[in-house]
Amino acid sequence: MEKAATWGGCEVFLERGDITELEVDAIVNAANSGLRGGGGVDGAIHRKGGPAIAEECRRIIADLGRVPTGQAVITGAGRLRARYVIHAVGPVYGTDPQHEAELLASAYRHSLALAREHGLHSVAFPCISTGAYGYPADQACQIAVRTVREELEKHRAPKRVVFCTYTESDHKLYRRALGLEQE
């Protein structure tokens, strides 16, 4: 794990690997609005975390209905090393061009707000909406870094944020966006 920055007194790290292996208070899931556990990071979190996560997700959907795009909810983490999973629903690229950047930023803001509300000290983010939802990785990276920086400088919590990338190409995008590498 590489330290990338300190924003608002909070440490920001970059990690390339499997987000389900991180020991943090919460990992963020790039979820769908039905919290059903799909492919990519969503499927990996549900598989490794076990049935407890899916059961909590079913209860949330039964109580509240589908999670709107740009929003997030929190569950326990089942068998994961993290204590919680924050399920953030990012936009499907191309379905709402005028609002999708704001919806993606909102998913990051709501995730950090849940972390603060639950007194969490560390949270790890995957690349939200860039897999099956098709958001261009370079644009999504810029939105993620800018939004997290603004939130940490404004609220000074959580104390540690990790951007966890899975692919080498995403890792390079985040290294550049975080000022760890020149273009």
* Nearest by Cα to 129 from 45, 26, 31, 34: 31
Burial group, residue 171, by CB count within 10 angstroms (0-12, 13-18, 19+): buried
Considering the candidates 42, 63, 138, 170, report the single residue annotated as catalytic: 42
Alpha-carbon distances, residue 139 vs 69, 79, 150, 165 (angstroms): 18, 33, 17, 15
Q: Say whether 80 sits in a helix, a strand or coil.
A: coil
Strand duo 84-89 + 26-31: pairing: parallel
Q: At what angle do helices 51-64 and 40-49 cross, to 10 degrees?
A: 110
Q: Is 171 in contact with 16 (CB distance < 8 Å)?
A: yes
For residue 78, the tally of other CB atoms under 10 A from its CB is 18
> Residue 26, SS3?
strand
138 labelled catalytic: no
Tell me which residues are annotated as active site: 42
